[in-house]
Structure 1
Amino acid sequence: MLTDAPSSPTHHPLLLPLANGHVAIDPITTAPMQFFDQDSPDRQYLLDERQIWHSLEHQWGSGHVLSDRGTHRWNAPQSVTITPTELHALHELVDGLELTVTRTTENSLIETYAFRNTGSEAVTITGIGIQTPFADVYASAAESLRTAVHAHVFTGGSWAWAFAQPMDGVGRVLGLVVREGSLSSYSIESRNQYTLSNIRGHIVLQPTDFARNSTAFGGQPTITLPAGGEYVLRWEVGFHDSVDAFLATTRPAAELSTVSAPVGTDIVIRNATDQVTSPHANVEVIEDGHGSRVTSREPGVFALHIGQARTEVSFHRPVEHVVKARARYILAHQRTPERPGSLQFGLVPVDTRVKLTQATNGWSDWTDGSERIGMAILLQQARRRGWVEESVDELLSGWALMAESFLLDSSAAPRRGSQDQATPARLYDSPWLAQFFIDRYNDNGDPHHLDLAARVIERAFALGGDRFLAIGFSEACIDVITALEADGQLQRSQSMSDAVVESARHFAEAGHALPNHEVNYEQSIVAPLINLLIDAYRLSNDASMLTAIQQRLPWLLSFGGPQPHARLKDIAIRHWDGYWFGIERLWGDIFPHHWSALTSTVLYRLPAPLRSAHTDAIALTILRANMANYFDDGSATCAFIMPSTVDGRAAHLADPLANDQDWHLSLWLRMAERYGAILD
């Protein structure tokens, strides 16, 4: 039956059944408005009017096309046909190019996007983007865990899928699998200084983004349609009982033994549906009768093709090599010798394009304090292993004096940087400064450094650190507790130990009600939470702590997805650091981001009943993936912005600022030293 599109925006949605739920359809556009899991009615899978920045043009199935005949965005169709079994929407795009969207439901929703050339001459399409507005938002920890989802996206050509996973890691996922056609990239919209850090943005899935970023994701195709020709993209959307159940439906193009490996070792490809190739001269693919072995003579992230499917794998130098290179580069290019007194020993970001240090410019994420403390900690670890020249001793001694004089106030509360005397104390920085000084004490035995580390921790507790989930806080506490005890300061040690356990019990009782930090909810809140519970368990032997760890581990793991891709597999979603820490000021997903290594610390530090070969493997995958952020000359990037474009700006690039990424190397060295992490 052919009908005119209803004109009223309040027209009641059509409710169509799916296995284990249903989908609400907009009768004006025939597009999904929301998906509902029958067992989780509060879970929001798609953005809606509750997010005030969500807009009509971002409705599911809306999109854009770019071609040599012109460009167009589509939303409301020119005509709609609704029958008992199908919904059809016709969109007139540009002259001679039309789009028909067909939707059918049974156990799942099948959507077919057919682009047809109705003209008499060929048309070349250079961009197609389809909106899939998954509700990946952080209202608060409690709200996120109860109602929101993480969206994990894999645009592997003909091997492409996405799914929305509950943020608590429990329950069904809403999965999308491409059944015909391909996806070569994705973009993000609504990411800017107005929406800020607590939203992922609108996710746009793309058969091609050639016109805006031709080299993204290993290269974007063009689609040429002859007169009367058609391009079809068909995908299936539905509920699945678990991530594994969803992945079983995706028809993988291959099985990869791993996605990241040391240079010269093999990544093994099994059960490939087509020939395995790579366009990169450095990559060697050897067929051995049982599959393919892929290796590289040089480090980097490289495209891998399996017929029309594609992904990327990475190879890296040994950790020792990378740490030595970074240490040399930091010493050569990231110091501040132009400044007076102990300030000359500062460590700061550098623009790797021109090797000019970046002045603070009133931007707190470019100071010589806060996250840049990681460089001093890494240099100290490298010094202890003999991986940096002894001339670093003068720098470390000078940096310690600078930090005590300018990065701490008289009460041992942290400052954001040496030039920032006005910003209130930032509790994030306390454990990092304490860790530097306790490491320094363990190296040189200077009791002043032990006392200073302890005072920094004690002051952090006084400022509310027991109700704040700072990165590395409980780990720094443990190191200080251990040193105080060995030094005979038993009362001071016990007081700090009691404070750690009491803090953990508070958070165990708080459940979902976690404090917001600079972002309302994030992986770098959950990882410190679980590390706190781990340390409290070891200090108290309280079995309830073990239960609390086990309950919260799915929260942490759900931040990372199972995409068979070097930049994505198990890497926690973060989508704001390119703006705050980079020089390009780009929002959008950062993959990999160095704080994803916090998940590795949790997995390596798990109590024996919870740690396994599987959790160790996830931890190592994350650590290896982050090696993509360092380059052979010792330079580095603080953020690889993954999407093809962000609000229309070309991305899929490494920000040229080396800033805070060295925490990953520091954490890897510490996990190897104390918890048996492989150091390759």
Structure 2
Amino acid sequence: MKNVIYQRPAGTAGEFELEWNDGGQLVSLAHPQDAAHMNWVKGKALWGTVKSELDLSAEVTAEFTERGTLLETYAFKNETDFDIYTLGTDLGIYVTFPDFYTDAQICMNSCCNTHIWCGGSSSYICALRMGGGSRNLGLVLTQGSLQGYSVERDLEQRSNDRGDFILHPENLHLRPGESYVISWELFWFQGKKEFEEIAGSFPGFVTIHADHFLVLGEEPICFRASFGRGWLTDSPGCVKRAEAFSPEKPHIFRNGREIPFVWENGEALVEDRPGTPGEYRYEIVSGGKRSRAVFLACSDLRTLAEKRCRFIAEKQQCHDEKSHLDGAYLIYDTEEKQQYYSHRYDHDGGRERVGMGALLALYLRHCPDPELEKSLDFYMEYVTRELFDTDTGEVFNDVCRNQDWKRLYNYPWISLLCLEMFQLKKDARFLEWAYRCLKAYYNDGGHHFYAIGIPMYESVSLLRGQGMEKEAQELLECFRKHADYIMECGKNYPPHEVNYEQSIVAPAAAYLCDLYRLTGEEKYAQAARIQLAVLDLFQGFQPDYHMNEVAIRHWDGYWFGKRECYGDTFPHYWSALSGVAYRDTETIAGCPYYARKAEKTFRGVLSMFMEDGSASCACVYPMRINGRLAGFYDPWANDQDWGLYFMLKYAGF
């Protein structure tokens, strides 16, 4: 940048307690009545820092509005004798929300889940305090357009730092003397519903509502576009005023081609049938502003599952009698068109990749296929030879019954595989194996560990159905002890492989729901409601299939992907765990909000499965991560099949 000038606002701060450095940059933003005194602009960089190597000048100003909001304006000017063009990430503005994971109590009170939508003229950030509460910080764009965002992470913190966010304006062409302005307003709000009401009140802001942003089979793409008409509601950041904005009928384009729609009472109602699978980007143009929504059309679920299962059997199963991997389902590199294995971490022959076997067993229960079943039988020979001791229930980390890392996460996945095999084969030995596996998990300290996918309700129900009441009761006592520990911890979550994350909270919520279903004891329902409220704070609601009801996760692409790239993974398959917890609320009074979201959450992971049956372990969503080009689906089909498994199990067949 040629020159950047910062100016502090005049007047009183109202609902904001602000601090500025000598250069005029914001260094602290808090609510004056917040007991925790959370600083909402805490990052490695300073809030409002302009990032660019272009020869632009910028003036950054702030002011307090009559609505009690903080208006920030970034005016970029070309003061050279030559035209200046920007492309992609050439120009960026830091917004340093404190989105990182440390001690759980610090997270609950002083960190936030940051939901970002760079949707052209209708862009926003909804920052929700991780522990919940009535004072959260919102940002809505009021002038200009944003095309995306990048992230700069503290890599020394590995998986625990989401990083500083950098917002990128649309591509610009500024002639000598020309300027371009980005403005936004910051305001306080209580929860997601109020945030949407306030954002939707800004004149010209477009709010997109759809039952599904990922559609299946012959389903049409349907959505409603509502246009902000002025501030007409009383709320903490948005006072009542009389004037209102009347929107003009917009133009709507699908992948660049204008489409018809119904215009009623200032809302656009779209029902579109694109016809073929693929991504469909809708641009809504009104009053000189351009906003967007992004949908994905997929084959029907059964077809998608069949293609995926065949791909696993044909492309990802090792056939090598001289290798310990004989029979294994391995990583598949969609660039190299070959299997891959490494004993390192998350690339081995066990762990999360057990999901491929569970998926095939579930699919075959509903869609018999001799060739696929032959592949699955071969896989089970491998599992019981290399990964699982059927006598003791011990689960190993990799082939050769290797236990370099005693990993409790591995146990529930083997137990789920065994339960699926029992339901497929009707062979009681698989049920016995599942029981032994879960007992071994708890014998190794599982009561104090928030493992993923423990089949509490399912295992007890199946054991009772086979007359194995003693075994069912033993497991129920283990589950009760586990749930009591989760209740005792409450929001004081113990650290796991990541200090704090969605896949700690989601199992906690699901297990408490399961214990309520198994015992009918209200204490578990009450404790589940607390966990569900925290879990919901991870879930995005942006009008894009990548993020709509997809939980915030931001490290999995590094550990499981070929590109080894940190950064927001939208989607990531463990987002489906939120759906599992939501589905289990169906028996809990007062939880219809969560139950209604379950299928949308399950669908949120399906873009990881391609129409040819291949798959991707993560979509790294931002434009750049620490300067590295991102915005890609990783070429490894690795561990993502648990996502399709849960979709089929709870919302599919």
Relative to the length of structure 1, the TM-score reads 0.85
Tell me, in whole angstroms, the C-alpha distance in 2 between the residues paired with 1:538 and 1:16. 56
Amino acid at match of 2:50: G
Distance 1:463 1:123, change over 3 A: same
Distance 1:566 1:201, change over 3 A: same
Alignment match of 1:287 (pick from 261, 266, 291):
261
SS in 2 for 1:368: coil
Tell me, in whole angstroms, the C-alpha distance in 2 between the residues paired with 1:536 and 1:202. 39
Paired residue for 1:275? 251
Any residues of structure 2 matched to 1:428-443 within 5 Å, and which? 428-443=409-424
Alignment match of 2:81 (pick from 103, 120, 124):
120
Tell me, in whole angstroms, the C-alpha distance in 1 between the residues paired with 2:393 and 2:189. 51
**CA deviation after TM superposition for structure 1 residue 335, in Å:** 0.8
Q: Tell me, yes or no, if structure 1 residue 309 matches structure 2 residue 291.
A: yes
Q: Is the 8 A contact 1:261 1:267 kept in 2?
A: no
Tell me, in whole angstroms, the C-alpha distance in 1 between the residues paired with 2:615 and 2:609. 4
Alignment match of 2:71 (pick from 103, 110, 117):
110
Q: Is the 8 A contact 1:550 1:610 kept in 2?
A: no
Segment drifting more, 447-456 vs 411-420: 411-420
Deviation per CA, 1:612-640, whole angstroms, max 9, x where unpaired? 65433322222222221111111111111
**CA deviation after TM superposition for structure 1 residue 657, in Å:** 0.5
Any residues of structure 2 matched to 1:58-97 within 5 Å, and which? 58-65=45-52, 71=53, 94=55, 97=56
Paired residue for 1:185? 148
Deviation per CA, 1:279-338, whole angstroms, max 9, x where unpaired? 267xx8332454332332122222211121123112221110100010111111101102
Paired residue for 1:83? none
Amino acid at match of 2:25: A
Q: Tell me, yes or no, if structure 1 residue 462 matches structure 2 residue 443.
A: yes
Distance 1:14 1:184, change over 3 A: closer
SS in 2 for 1:159: coil
Paired residue for 2:96? 133
**CA deviation after TM superposition for structure 1 residue 263, in Å:** 4.2
Tell me, in whole angstroms, the C-alpha distance in 2 between the residues paired with 1:585 and 1:654. 12
Any residues of structure 2 matched to 1:251-400 within 5 Å, and which? 251=202, 252-258=205-211, 259-264=213-218, 265-271=220-226, 274-279=250-255, 285-290=259-264, 291-307=269-285, 308-340=290-322, 343-360=325-342, 362-386=343-367, 389-400=369-380
Deviation per CA, 1:232-281, whole angstroms, max 9, x where unpaired? 11111121233322222323324332322224413133446621102267
**CA deviation after TM superposition for structure 1 residue 369, in Å:** 0.7
Distance 1:602 1:614, change over 3 A: same
Paired residue for 1:543? 522
Q: Tell me, yes or no, if structure 1 residue 408 matches structure 2 residue 388.
A: yes
Any residues of structure 2 matched to 1:470-509 within 5 Å, and which? 470-473=451-454, 475=455, 477-509=456-488
Alignment match of 1:637 (pick from 606, 616, 620):
616
SS in 1 for 2:82: coil
Paired residue for 1:154? 117
Deviation per CA, 1:504-533, whole angstroms, max 9, x where unpaired? 112112222222111111111111111111
**Number of equivalent positions:** 609
Segment drifting more, 198-207 vs 417-426: 417-426
SS in 1 for 2:206: coil
Segment drifting more, 414-423 vs 592-601: 414-423
Paired residue for 2:407? 426
Q: Tell me, yes or no, if structure 1 residue 23 matches structure 2 residue 3.
A: no
Paired residue for 2:107? 144
Paired residue for 1:218? none
Tell me, in whole angstroms, the C-alpha distance in 2 between the residues paired with 1:136 and 1:98. 30
Amino acid at match of 2:474: S
**CA deviation after TM superposition for structure 1 residue 486, in Å:** 3.1
SS in 2 for 1:301: strand
Tell me, in whole angstroms, the C-alpha distance in 2 between the residues paired with 1:43 and 1:640. 35
Tell me, in whole angstroms, the C-alpha distance in 2 between the residues paired with 1:263 and 1:101. 49
**CA deviation after TM superposition for structure 1 residue 651, in Å:** 0.6
Tell me, in whole angstroms, the C-alpha distance in 1 between the residues paired with 2:468 and 2:11. 68
Tell me, in whole angstroms, the C-alpha distance in 2 between the residues paired with 1:18 and 1:602. 41
Q: Tell me, yes or no, if structure 1 residue 200 matches structure 2 residue 187.
A: no
Tell me, in whole angstroms, the C-alpha distance in 2 between the residues paired with 1:368 and 1:615. 36
Distance 1:416 1:227, change over 3 A: same
Deviation per CA, 1:544-575, whole angstroms, max 9, x where unpaired? 11111112211100001221221111210000
Q: Which runs of 5+ in 1 are unaligned?
A: 7-12, 49-53, 66-70, 73-93, 209-221, 672-676
Deviation per CA, 1:381-404, whole angstroms, max 9, x where unpaired? 1111116x3112222222222212
**CA deviation after TM superposition for structure 1 residue 14, in Å:** 10
Distance 1:607 1:632, change over 3 A: closer
Deviation per CA, 1:166-191, whole angstroms, max 9, x where unpaired? 11232221111111111110001125
Q: Tell me, yes or no, if structure 1 residue 98 matches structure 2 residue 51.
A: no
SS in 2 for 1:184: strand
Distance 1:342 1:587, change over 3 A: closer
Alignment match of 2:26 (pick from 23, 32, 37):
32
**CA deviation after TM superposition for structure 1 residue 103, in Å:** 1.3
Deviation per CA, 1:178-234, whole angstroms, max 9, x where unpaired? 111111100011254x231011111111104xxxxxxxxxxxxx3111221111111
Any residues of structure 2 matched to 1:595-634 within 5 Å, and which? 595-610=574-589, 614-634=593-613
SS in 1 for 2:118: strand
**CA deviation after TM superposition for structure 1 residue 342, in Å:** 7.1
Tell me, in whole angstroms, the C-alpha distance in 2 between the residues paired with 1:269 and 1:285. 14
Distance 1:174 1:271, change over 3 A: closer
Q: Is the 8 A contact 1:441 1:447 kept in 2?
A: yes
Distance 1:16 1:322, change over 3 A: farther
Deviation per CA, 1:127-146, whole angstroms, max 9, x where unpaired? 21111111011103332122
Tell me, in whole angstroms, the C-alpha distance in 1 between the residues paired with 2:259 and 2:587. 39
Distance 1:613 1:509, change over 3 A: closer
Distance 1:45 1:333, change over 3 A: farther
Q: Is the 8 A contact 1:369 1:418 kept in 2?
A: yes
**CA deviation after TM superposition for structure 1 residue 45, in Å:** 4.3
Tell me, in whole angstroms, the C-alpha distance in 1 between the residues paired with 2:259 and 2:418. 48
Paired residue for 1:452? 433
Any residues of structure 2 matched to 1:4-19 within 5 Å, and which? 18-19=13-14
Percent of paired sites with the same residue: 27
Relative to the length of structure 2, the TM-score reads 0.88
Paired residue for 2:236? none
Tell me, in whole angstroms, the C-alpha distance in 2 between the residues paired with 1:431 and 1:156. 40
**CA deviation after TM superposition for structure 1 residue 487, in Å:** 3.2
**CA deviation after TM superposition for structure 1 residue 116, in Å:** 1.1
Segment drifting more, 137-146 vs 660-669: 137-146
Tell me, in whole angstroms, the C-alpha distance in 1 between the residues paired with 2:615 and 2:310. 12
Q: Which runs of 5+ in 2 are unaligned?
A: 228-246
Tell me, in whole angstroms, the C-alpha distance in 2 between the residues paired with 1:642 and 1:599. 20
**CA deviation after TM superposition for structure 1 residue 376, in Å:** 0.2
Q: Is the 8 A contact 2:133 2:190 kept in 1?
A: no
Amino acid at match of 2:254: S
Tell me, in whole angstroms, the C-alpha distance in 2 between the residues paired with 1:647 and 1:122. 28
Distance 1:486 1:123, change over 3 A: closer
Tell me, in whole angstroms, the C-alpha distance in 1 between the residues paired with 2:256 and 2:371. 40
SS in 2 for 1:554: helix
Tell me, in whole angstroms, the C-alpha distance in 1 between the residues paired with 2:344 and 2:616. 18
Tell me, in whole angstroms, the C-alpha distance in 2 between the residues paired with 1:280 and 1:366. 41
